[in-house]
Amino acid sequence: MLFAELPPTPPPAIVQSVGYDTRIRLNSIGFLPEAQKQATVAAPCKEFTVVRMSDQAVVFSGQASTPFKTAVSDTDETVQFVDFSAVKAPGRYKVQIAGVGLSAPFDIGPCVWNLPFEVASRAMYLWRCGTAVEGTWNGITYRQKACHLEDGWMDYAGGGHTKHPTTGGWHDAGDYNKYVVNAAMSIGLMLKAWEQFPDHVASDSLGIPESGNHVPDLLDEVRWEVEWLFTMQGDDGRVYHKVSSLNFRYWGPPDKDDGPRYLTPWSTTATADFVGTMAETARAWKAFDTNFSAKCLDAAKKSWSFLQAHPEQVDADMTAFHTGAYNTKDRSLRLWAAAELWETTGDAATLHDFEKGAQEFSCTFSKGGRGWGDMTDLAFATYLTSSHPNERNADIVAQLTKSLLTRANEIVAVSQNNGYRRPLGVERSTWYWGCNGTVASQTLLLHLADKLQPDPAYRATAQCALDYLFGRNFHSRSYVTGLGALPPLHPHDRRGEPAWPGYLVGGGWPDGRSWKDDRARYDLNEIAINWNAALIYATAAFAEPQPAKQ
């Protein structure tokens, strides 16, 4: 969301007991047995030990590294590193450092990433609009009644004061509006998790209403959003840009938000993103529901035809709205639409459109993982992992592969050259609104590179991204509500407190010290579906494969 109104004064704060020395900064979720295991220590130290919590036994002793000075644009401090990768036995541990103290507890085991994946995925369910939701976490039950059942009105979309039913979907972020462009990025990342790690995300028991229906819950959750997207398509294939209130002023439970919500006019950005989303969903669902898959593909083809008849960019007129715009150039979104539609249909003309577009983008991957405004990385990922490999242009494949490996190697090098192994880097330009989401989405490039040219450094750096998000950072705190040590208690979320679980907050900027757990700071502490989708992808890669129910 953008330009949010400030929230009302929150209720008295919930006090967390720290219980560990915050100068010892590590991933408080844990580590796979064979993974690299490190902590950053913001205090002078020499010797350290690893203590098993079940019996207080010392299972490892080691020496801290020499001091390392972090950049002024990062955290501007002197730190040291401790490495305990030799500890591989499953269990719960703490790091103890002489003269400093004990770290937060962490686990070692093959399934340490399963729970974060499940909680982040279930958080998408808790974002559902137009239906009652309920879930329990850490002894607290979170629930809301069905909301926004009057969505939406056509006053600003050329239809007069008439209703165009658009119930369902997910609330976008800390606000309750619904945006096609951000939905596309979110679904694209979630389906990349399904395509690349199907065994890891096959669980049908995440605790959503569809659990137990013999379809992976991740796909069920995607379908909930896709069913809403159908309502955003016009009869001729155009796609309305968003459903929104006129401003961000309402705070409180979503079912009490009884103000009118309106569709905006259509845009080529929404239409292109709709095509890519529907085409990719059609592939994912074909093995589970052929009728739904066909419906998705038919919708994608209709909007693709409309898009081809409108080659010029058309932006929605949103002058009456003071909510998230999600405006961007449509070229990369058209590229993604072509990639997904070709991959699903094998259509030669669509492949030609993609390959022409790829060359216009110089066949270049991003430096750090793109956001909703640029879908080229997702488009290129689909092309490089295509099920039609022999139909591709060999030169374009070679250029994209070279670019991908170059970017992945740059990310590895950047991670190794900063005090918290943050793969996005330490320069001032890498700290911005929502940068935590980019840290998570960078892992797409790393895992894709590892698929094409396996290198342990790629997986290790993807692990470093999760280490950072779950506590190996200046604040020595998890940046995900309800998970890890000292998670955010006051996210910018209109549902209020206690904080709903499983949401990645945007993160600090303009440097690594600047995050605040403050409900009013939407620029630092908001939540958003695209950031959570990136977290789902990042954790799915390391989750222990789960068998699908028969």
Examine residue 489 and state whether it is found in any structural domain, yes or no.
yes
State pLDDT tens for residues 283-308: 999 999 999 999 999 999 999 999 99
Of 175, 280, 355, 523, the catalytic one is 175
Examine residue 381 and state whether it is found in any structural domain, yes or no.
yes
Domain extent at residue 404:
114-540
Please say which residue of 108, 126, 150 terminates a domain: 108
Q: What is the pLDDT of residue 368?
A: 76
Q: How far apart are CA 273 and CA 269, in angstroms?
A: 6
Q: Do 68 and 190 fall within a single domain?
A: no
Q: Do 412 and 507 fall within a single domain?
A: yes
Element (H, E) at 540: helix 529-540
Residue 357 CB: number of other CB atoms within 10 A? 19
Query: Total structural domains in the chain?
Result: 2
Examine residue 464 and state whether it is found in any structural domain, yes or no.
yes
Examine residue 281 and state whether it is found in any structural domain, yes or no.
yes
Q: Do 71 and 172 fall within a single domain?
A: no
Examine residue 17 and state whether it is found in any structural domain, yes or no.
no
Q: What is the pLDDT of residue 12?
A: 40
Q: Do 292 and 192 fall within a single domain?
A: yes
Examine residue 309 and state whether it is found in any structural domain, yes or no.
yes
The CATH number of whichever domain residue 459 belongs to comes to 1.50.10.10
**Residue 277 near residue 183, CB atoms below 8 Å:** yes
Please say which residue of 108, 133, 166 terminates a domain: 108
Q: Do 99 and 120 fall within a single domain?
A: no
Q: Do 447 and 461 fall within a single domain?
A: yes
Tokens of 454: 């396996």
Q: Do 72 and 190 fall within a single domain?
A: no
Of 377, 475, 492, 511, the catalytic one is 492
User: Could you tell me which of 105, 98, 86, 50 has the C-alpha nearest to residue 471?
Assistant: 105
Q: Do 192 and 250 fall within a single domain?
A: yes
What residues form DSSP beta bridges with 240? 266
Known catalytic residue at 517: yes
Which regions in the chain score pLDDT beneath 50? Answer: 1-4, 10-15, 550
Q: How far apart are CA 223 and CA 510, in angstroms?
A: 37
Of 220, 273, 343, 526, the catalytic one is 526
The CATH number of whichever domain residue 94 belongs to comes to 2.60.40.10
Q: Do 101 and 207 fall within a single domain?
A: no
Examine residue 226 and state whether it is found in any structural domain, yes or no.
yes
ω before 11 within 30° of 0 (cis)? no
Q: Do 101 and 141 fall within a single domain?
A: no
Q: Do 408 and 290 fall within a single domain?
A: yes
Q: What is the pLDDT of residue 1?
A: 43
Q: How far apart are CA 337 and CA 441, in angstroms?
A: 20
Q: What is the pLDDT of residue 369?
A: 77
Known catalytic residue at 492: yes
Of 74, 118, 343, 517, the catalytic one is 517
Backbone angles phi, psi at 284, to 5 degrees: -60, -35
Q: Which residues are within 8 A (CB) of 380 and not within 5 positions of it... i.e. 6 or more apart?
A: 339, 358, 363, 365, 400, 404
The DSSP result for 354-416, as a single string, is: HHHHHHHTTT---SS---TT--HHHHHHHHHT-S-GGGS-HHHHHHHHHHHHHHHHHHHHHHH
Examine residue 15 and state whether it is found in any structural domain, yes or no.
no
Q: Do 47 and 126 fall within a single domain?
A: no
Known catalytic residue at 374: no
| pTM, full prediction | 0.96
Please say which residue of 108, 133, 163 terminates a domain: 108
Known catalytic residue at 526: yes
